[in-house]
Amino acid sequence: MTKVFALRTTIDLDAPPAEVWRVLTDSAAYPEWNPFIFSLTGELAVGSTVSTRIRDTKGKERTFTPKVLVVEPDRELTWLSRVGFGGLFDGKHTYRLEDQPGARTRLIHDEEFRGIAVPFLHSMLRTTIEPQFVAMNHALAARLASDV
């Protein structure tokens, strides 16, 4: 069994979970505000496959076709991407929304990586992907503040 390598970011947002959920699940608007996942197509429903296009800190773009695992409105969205054969490089990407006092939301944005290739990719993931999680979190905060 391979060890899990995780990237985890959090941000407190000045909007209630329902509003954060609305923006997170409005994938058609991603190109307008999301610097990390600039395209997401397909139905965000449990068991469906979506297509995501991401951009790392070096500008390199990649396409993934994850399977949606969890859709709990106003609470959690999770999908699983597999690269190559199962067990080579899998990433479970999660957005968890926690209701906070004052109509605020804590977003926990993380990804758990598993697979035989993962130990060789720690540095790359930390330097090219984790900063994009942070950039997306801040862009989400700005999008919410703009009242779009």
The tens-digit pLDDT sequence of the chain (148 residues) is 567 899 999 999 999 999 999 999 999 999 999 999 999 999 999 999 999 999 999 999 999 999 999 999 999 999 999 988 778 899 999 999 999 999 999 999 999 999 999 889 889 999 999 999 999 999 999 999 997 5
For residue 94, CA distances in Å to 23, 70, 120, 146, 147 come to: 15, 9, 22, 24, 24
CATH number of 5-145: 3.30.530.20
Q: Answer yes or no: are the C-beta atoms of 129 and 56 closer than 8 Å.
A: yes
Residues linked to residue 31 through DSSP beta bridges, in sequence order? none
Q: From the CB of residue 44, how many other CB atoms can be counted at a distance below 10 Å? A: 16
Could you tell me the residue ranges of all domains in the chain? Answer: 5-145
Collapsing DSSP states into helix, strand and coil, what is residue 80? strand
